[in-house]
Amino acid sequence: MIPPRDRAALLACFAQQIADRPTAARQHLRILSEPTSTCVVTGQQPAIGGGPLYTLVKISHAIATAEARRQTGDKVVPIFWCASEDHDVGEAGHADFIDQSGKVLRFAHTLGEGRASLRFRLAAPWWEALVSHAQRVLGPGLGHSFLEQQRPSTDETMGQWTCRLLQQLFATHGLLCIEGHQLRPLWSTHLKRALDAWPTTELAQLRTRLIAAGKVDPFGELNEPPLFADRPDGRMGLTASEARALFTQEPLIISPGASLRPILQQAALPAEAYVAGPGELAYHAFLTPLYTALQVTTPTLIPRCSISLISSSVARGLARWNSEPDALSGDAPINEMTTTPHAFAQDISTIKQAITALEQKQSQATPANVRRLAAGIKRLQHDLSQIDASLKRQQQHDNARPAWGHLKGQVFPKNIRQERVMSLFQVLWEHGPGIADQLVACAKTASPGQHHWMKIS
């Protein structure tokens, strides 16, 4: 539990952002002001267009978890941590769209020169080009007007814009968003502990055990705290001695690296649970000694669920293949199905049988009627053949199946789950802001760590 003084400072950080926000956010801020309240946290770094779809999935899972716990009487709210202190412009400098053939169409834009972290990068420079790209490769979208309302201002940074977009998108659920650098005053005591009591031996022993067990090492040797001087002209690494000197002069300039960030995050927020992706769970496995050394409470780690969207066009394609979404995860296309007879096939067959019977009775006709009967039968056979052929062509059109590879590519682009590739900007462009409520509803029925399909209504 964070001290009352730190809780007041935390509330002040949020209050600046939700002054004009919907009632739900203000209600959650009141809940967070209570000494026994907690939060369910998730996070992601900002990127062009907002980042990948799984950012929305993580948030939806956190909201669903918080709402479920409130129903049992707990005072808990959802919080999104925007990791804008990250400086990986390569990862943040693009947005991937997927067309109906399953092809990935990447939009990329420079975020500026230098090594400054994303919190210093502006959102406006790439906005117009991103919208033009969406119009060109996706066509008109239900969410175009909503996204235009979220147009970044000229001085709005990527972190600020991301927080504003997500708070607006999940407004009915009262999502609270905050950037990591805003919380630096709240973790200064724990940062000092990291400099004075870094558990080098314990981290090394744990690393050895995990590597021996086959785990992939995400960090390498952690002999000292990973810290940076985070300034507008660049984010530069610090040795422990350099960090100690800077701590006495400009403590709020110091930014933690990826291995220290989650522990300081936990120190600043009253988080009872953290909704984490597979990579984050792998990170945490190597970091457990830090919680004890820095005297920080370990949160419950909840593996985020996975949600793939089934659009109406994919649903129609699956129906024509008489197949279910799970079949798309297979490596080989399913076999062709037998063509379904058209609706009047039985009637055509009955008429053909009647004509055949009529032919058999020709010999019983008088000589004067044989020629007339034969001509009439020929016309009937010709007309019936044309009707049958026309109905078959229509049935073939109705049964036309899109290429299986095109369907698979829309939900497993590059053989990767859709949520890890598709930009959330595309999801909002095509389906509008209502998709957020649908994702939350799906997350409420989803199992942690499991994959789920969501048909878009």
263, 286 Cβ separation under 8 angstroms: no
Mean pLDDT value across residues 153-178: 96
Across the strands, what pairs with 274? Answer: 41, 301
Half-sphere exposure of 5 (CA within 13 A, CB side): 3
Q: Which of 20-24, 111-115, 208-212, 347-351 has the lowest mean pLDDT?
A: 20-24
Contacts 24+ apart (CB under 8 A), 409-412: 409/98, 409/101, 409/102, 409/103, 410/98, 410/100, 410/102, 410/311, 410/314, 411/308, 411/309, 411/310, 411/314, 411/325, 411/328, 412/328, 412/329
Within-domain flag for 199: no
428 with 358, same domain? no
Mean pLDDT value across residues 261-278: 94
User: What per-residue confidence (pLDDT) applies to 400?
Assistant: 75
Kindly indicate the confidence band of residue 35, based on its pLDDT and cuts at 50, 70 and 90: very high
Query: To the nearest 10°, the Cα dihedral for 121, 125, 127, 129?
Result: -130
What is the β-pairing status of strands 227-231 and 234-238?
A: antiparallel
Kindly indicate the confidence band of residue 398, based on its pLDDT and cuts at 50, 70 and 90: low
Q: Which of 207-216, 261-270, 389-398 has the lowest mean pLDDT?
A: 389-398
297 with 371, same domain? no
Write out pLDDT tens, residues 336-382. 444 567 778 888 888 888 888 888 777 777 777 777 888 888 888 88
- Domain of residue 58, CATH code: 3.40.50
Higher pLDDT, 294 or 388: 294
271 with 386, same domain? no
C-alpha to C-alpha distance for 8 and 255, rounded to whole angstroms:
22
**Best CA proximity match to 220, nearest among 197, 200, 239:** 200
pTM score of the predicted model: 0.86
User: What per-residue confidence (pLDDT) applies to 392?
Assistant: 72
441 with 362, same domain? no
Within-domain flag for 421: yes
Within-domain flag for 404: no
Tokens encoding 236: 């530069």
Across the strands, what pairs with 38? Answer: 76
User: What per-residue confidence (pLDDT) applies to 172?
Assistant: 94
48, 109 Cβ separation under 8 angstroms: yes
Residue 311 burial by Cβ neighbours in a 10 Å radius (0-12, 13-18, 19+): middle
Query: b/e per residue, 205-241, with b = 16+ CB within 10 A?
Result: ebbeeeeeeeeeeeeeebeebbbbbbeeeebeebebe
What lies within 8 Å, CB to CB, of 165 at 6+ separation is 50, 150
C-alpha to C-alpha distance for 221 and 203, rounded to whole angstroms:
8
Mean pLDDT value across residues 240-244: 95
385 with 253, same domain? no
Provide the number of structural domains found in the chain.
2
**Best CA proximity match to 72, nearest among 27, 33, 38:** 38
Within-domain flag for 208: no
User: What per-residue confidence (pLDDT) applies to 22?
Assistant: 60
User: What per-residue confidence (pLDDT) applies to 229?
Assistant: 96
**Best CA proximity match to 197, nearest among 299, 297, 298, 291:** 291
Within-domain flag for 138: yes
Mean pLDDT value across residues 229-252: 95
Kindly indicate the confidence band of residue 420, based on its pLDDT and cuts at 50, 70 and 90: very high
**Best CA proximity match to 431, nearest among 305, 327, 313:** 313
C-alpha to C-alpha distance for 440 and 219, rounded to whole angstroms:
33
Within-domain flag for 98: yes
Residue carrying the six token digits 């990291």: 194
C-alpha to C-alpha distance for 60 and 440, rounded to whole angstroms:
5
pLDDT higher than 60, residue 324: yes
User: What per-residue confidence (pLDDT) applies to 337?
Assistant: 43
Within-domain flag for 272: yes
User: What per-residue confidence (pLDDT) applies to 54?
Assistant: 97
Higher pLDDT, 185 or 88: 185
Mean pLDDT score of the chain: 91
User: What per-residue confidence (pLDDT) applies to 108?
Assistant: 97
Q: Range of 350's domain?
A: 345-398
265 with 364, same domain? no
Contacts 24+ apart (CB under 8 A), 432-438: 432/141, 432/142, 432/143, 432/146, 433/143, 433/146, 433/168, 433/169, 435/56, 435/143, 436/56, 436/60, 436/169, 436/170, 436/173, 437/172
157 with 279, same domain? yes
Half-sphere exposure of 399 (CA within 13 A, CB side): 15
148 with 266, same domain? yes
63 with 134, same domain? yes
Write out pLDDT tens, residues 376-396. 888 888 888 888 888 877 766
A 10 A CB-CB count for 446 gives 21
Mean pLDDT value across residues 55-68: 98
Higher pLDDT, 394 or 187: 187
Mean pLDDT value across residues 410-426: 96
Share of the chain above pLDDT 70, in %: 95
139 with 88, same domain? yes
C-alpha to C-alpha distance for 325 and 154, rounded to whole angstroms:
43
95 with 32, same domain? yes
A 10 A CB-CB count for 158 gives 28
Mean pLDDT value across residues 34-58: 96
C-alpha to C-alpha distance for 88 and 288, rounded to whole angstroms:
25
Within-domain flag for 223: no
382 with 422, same domain? no
Edge-to-edge strands, sheet with 300-303: 176-179, 76-82, 38-44, 271-276, 300-303
